[in-house]
Protein backbone atom coordinates (compact mmCIF):
# COMPACT_ATOMS: atom_id res chain seq x y z
CA UNK A 1 0.00 0.00 0.00
CA UNK A 2 1.50 3.38 -0.96
CA UNK A 3 2.08 5.82 1.90
CA UNK A 4 -0.39 8.71 1.62
CA UNK A 5 1.12 10.82 4.44
CA UNK A 6 3.04 13.19 2.17
CA UNK A 7 2.12 16.22 4.32
CA UNK A 8 4.75 15.23 6.90
CA UNK A 9 7.53 16.44 4.61
CA UNK A 10 6.82 20.15 4.78
CA UNK A 11 9.09 20.91 1.81
CA UNK A 12 7.05 18.53 -0.38
CA UNK A 13 3.75 19.84 0.92
CA UNK A 14 4.91 23.35 0.02
CA UNK A 15 5.12 22.23 -3.61
CA UNK A 16 1.39 21.55 -3.73
CA UNK A 17 0.58 25.22 -3.15
CA UNK A 18 1.59 26.51 -6.57
CA UNK A 19 -0.26 23.65 -8.25
CA UNK A 20 -3.47 24.57 -6.47
CA UNK A 21 -3.07 28.27 -7.31
CA UNK A 22 -2.53 27.37 -10.99
CA UNK A 23 -5.67 25.24 -11.12
CA UNK A 24 -7.73 27.88 -9.34
CA UNK A 25 -6.46 30.44 -11.85
CA UNK A 26 -7.62 28.21 -14.71
CA UNK A 27 -11.12 28.21 -13.27
CA UNK A 28 -11.17 31.87 -12.27
CA UNK A 29 -8.63 33.77 -14.44
CA UNK A 30 -9.86 37.16 -13.20
CA UNK A 31 -8.40 36.47 -9.77
CA UNK A 32 -5.26 34.74 -10.96
CA UNK A 33 -2.85 37.32 -9.56
CA UNK A 34 -4.51 37.09 -6.15
CA UNK A 35 -4.20 33.30 -6.15
CA UNK A 36 -0.54 33.51 -7.15
CA UNK A 37 0.26 36.17 -4.52
CA UNK A 38 -1.39 34.13 -1.78
CA UNK A 39 0.35 30.98 -2.97
CA UNK A 40 3.75 32.69 -2.89
CA UNK A 41 3.14 33.99 0.63
CA UNK A 42 2.07 30.54 1.83
CA UNK A 43 4.99 28.79 0.13
CA UNK A 44 7.42 31.14 1.87
CA UNK A 45 5.78 30.38 5.23
CA UNK A 46 6.02 26.65 4.61
CA UNK A 47 9.64 26.85 3.56
CA UNK A 48 10.54 28.61 6.79
CA UNK A 49 8.48 26.07 8.73
CA UNK A 50 10.53 23.30 7.10
CA UNK A 51 13.77 25.01 8.20
CA UNK A 52 12.35 25.50 11.70
CA UNK A 53 11.54 21.77 11.89
CA UNK A 54 15.05 20.82 10.77
CA UNK A 55 16.67 22.95 13.46
CA UNK A 56 14.26 21.65 16.12
CA UNK A 57 15.44 18.11 15.38
CA UNK A 58 19.05 19.14 16.06
CA UNK A 59 18.17 19.24 19.79
CA UNK A 60 17.66 15.47 19.80
CA UNK A 61 20.79 13.29 20.15
CA UNK A 62 21.36 11.30 16.95
CA UNK A 63 20.92 7.95 18.73
CA UNK A 64 17.45 9.03 19.91
CA UNK A 65 16.20 10.10 16.49
CA UNK A 66 13.88 7.13 16.35
CA UNK A 67 10.17 7.67 16.10
CA UNK A 68 7.98 4.79 17.23
CA UNK A 69 4.31 5.30 16.54
CA UNK A 70 1.04 3.42 16.52
CA UNK A 71 0.60 3.28 12.74
CA UNK A 72 2.91 3.75 9.81
CA UNK A 73 2.28 7.40 8.99
CA UNK A 74 5.73 8.95 9.23
CA UNK A 75 7.81 7.65 6.29
CA UNK A 76 7.92 11.09 4.66
CA UNK A 77 8.86 12.57 8.02
CA UNK A 78 11.61 9.96 8.32
CA UNK A 79 13.15 10.87 4.97
CA UNK A 80 12.82 14.63 5.37
CA UNK A 81 14.11 14.97 8.93
CA UNK A 82 16.67 12.18 9.27
CA UNK A 83 14.77 9.90 11.61
CA UNK A 84 14.35 6.18 11.80
CA UNK A 85 10.67 5.36 11.98
CA UNK A 86 9.11 2.19 13.33
CA UNK A 87 5.41 1.55 13.58
CA UNK A 88 3.35 -0.97 15.49
CA UNK A 89 0.78 -1.19 12.71
CA UNK A 90 1.03 -0.77 8.96
CA UNK A 91 -0.19 2.16 6.90
CA UNK A 92 -3.77 1.05 7.46
CA UNK A 93 -5.10 1.70 10.96
CA UNK A 94 -7.38 -1.36 10.97
CA UNK A 95 -4.85 -4.19 10.59
CA UNK A 96 -3.70 -5.78 13.86
CA UNK A 97 -0.03 -6.09 14.82
CA UNK A 98 1.39 -9.62 14.88
CA UNK A 99 2.97 -11.11 18.00
CA UNK A 100 6.25 -11.60 16.14
CA UNK A 101 6.34 -7.95 15.07
CA UNK A 102 5.66 -6.83 18.65
CA UNK A 103 8.53 -8.98 19.91
CA UNK A 104 10.93 -7.58 17.34
CA UNK A 105 9.88 -4.04 18.16
CA UNK A 106 10.33 -4.65 21.89
CA UNK A 107 13.83 -5.99 21.33
CA UNK A 108 14.72 -3.03 19.13
CA UNK A 109 13.52 -0.52 21.75
CA UNK A 110 15.36 -2.25 24.60
CA UNK A 111 18.56 -2.63 22.59
CA UNK A 112 18.60 1.00 21.43
CA UNK A 113 17.40 2.37 24.79
CA UNK A 114 14.58 4.29 23.15
CA UNK A 115 12.97 6.53 25.76
CA UNK A 116 9.56 7.27 24.34
CA UNK A 117 6.86 6.06 22.03
CA UNK A 118 4.07 8.16 20.55
CA UNK A 119 0.34 7.70 20.42
CA UNK A 120 -1.82 9.24 17.73
CA UNK A 121 -4.95 11.29 18.03
CA UNK A 122 -6.76 9.14 15.46
CA UNK A 123 -5.56 5.64 16.38
CA UNK A 124 -6.52 3.53 19.43
CA UNK A 125 -3.53 2.98 21.75
CA UNK A 126 -4.06 -0.61 23.02
CA UNK A 127 -1.01 -1.79 21.10
CA UNK A 128 1.08 1.02 22.56
CA UNK A 129 0.24 -0.05 26.11
CA UNK A 130 1.08 -3.64 25.24
CA UNK A 131 4.47 -2.56 23.93
CA UNK A 132 5.23 -0.60 27.11
CA UNK A 133 4.38 -3.68 29.16
CA UNK A 134 6.62 -5.98 27.18
CA UNK A 135 9.52 -3.50 27.51
CA UNK A 136 8.89 -3.43 31.26
CA UNK A 137 9.31 -7.21 31.35
CA UNK A 138 12.81 -6.65 29.97
CA UNK A 139 13.46 -3.95 32.60
CA UNK A 140 13.33 -1.10 30.13
CA UNK A 141 11.20 1.90 30.95
CA UNK A 142 9.41 3.18 27.88
CA UNK A 143 7.09 6.16 28.29
CA UNK A 144 4.40 7.68 26.13
CA UNK A 145 6.05 10.79 24.69
CA UNK A 146 2.73 12.38 23.82
CA UNK A 147 0.04 12.43 21.19
CA UNK A 148 0.91 13.10 17.57
CA UNK A 149 -1.43 14.27 14.88
CA UNK A 150 -1.19 11.74 12.05
CA UNK A 151 -4.38 11.38 10.03
CA UNK A 152 -6.30 14.27 11.61
CA UNK A 153 -5.51 17.81 12.72
CA UNK A 154 -6.72 19.57 15.86
CA UNK A 155 -10.15 21.12 16.32
CA UNK A 156 -11.17 23.76 13.73
CA UNK A 157 -10.60 27.28 15.02
CA UNK A 158 -7.57 26.28 17.14
CA UNK A 159 -3.88 26.58 16.23
CA UNK A 160 -3.59 22.79 16.16
CA UNK A 161 -6.43 22.79 13.67
CA UNK A 162 -4.22 24.43 11.02
CA UNK A 163 -1.56 22.67 8.97
CA UNK A 164 1.26 24.85 10.31
CA UNK A 165 0.02 24.58 13.90
CA UNK A 166 -0.37 20.81 13.65
CA UNK A 167 3.17 20.33 12.29
CA UNK A 168 4.64 22.62 14.99
CA UNK A 169 2.78 20.75 17.72
CA UNK A 170 4.08 17.39 16.47
CA UNK A 171 7.66 18.65 16.42
CA UNK A 172 7.35 20.15 19.91
CA UNK A 173 5.99 16.86 21.23
CA UNK A 174 8.73 14.80 19.56
CA UNK A 175 11.62 17.06 20.60
CA UNK A 176 10.41 17.31 24.20
CA UNK A 177 10.18 13.54 24.58
CA UNK A 178 13.43 12.54 22.88
CA UNK A 179 15.94 15.33 23.58
ZN1 LIG B 1 -2.67 7.16 8.21
- Distance in angstroms (rounded) separating the CA atoms of residues 107 and 127: 15
Q: How far, in Å, is the centroid of ligand 1 from the Cα of 36?
A: 31
| Residues 94, 156 within the same domain | yes
Whether residue 151 lies inside any domain: the answer is yes
Each residue's pLDDT tens digit, 73-116 = 999 999 999 999 999 887 776 666 788 889 999 999 999 999 99
Quote the ligand 1 centre to 37 CA distance (angstroms): 32
pTM of the model: 0.89
Whichever domain contains 96, its CATH number is 3.40.50.1980
Q: What is the mean pLDDT of residues 57-80?
A: 94
E strands within the chain? 66-71, 84-89, 116-120, 143-148
Q: Determine, yes or no, domain membership for 160.
A: yes
- Identify whether residues 100 and 40 lie together within a single domain: no
Q: How many domains does the chain have?
A: 2
**Ligand 1 midpoint to CA 35 (Å):** 30
Span from the CA of 28 to the centroid of ligand 1 (angstroms): 33
Rounded to the nearest angstrom, the distance between the alpha carbon of 3 and the centre of ligand 1 is 8
Angle, helices 126-137/99-111, rounded to nearest 10 degrees? 60
Domain co-membership, 130 together with 152: yes
111: containing domain: 61-178
Amino acid sequence: MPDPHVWFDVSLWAMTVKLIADRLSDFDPEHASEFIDNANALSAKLESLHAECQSAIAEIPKSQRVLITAHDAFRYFERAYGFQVKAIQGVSTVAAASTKHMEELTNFIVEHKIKAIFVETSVPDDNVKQLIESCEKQNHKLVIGGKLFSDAMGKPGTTDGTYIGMIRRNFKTIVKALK
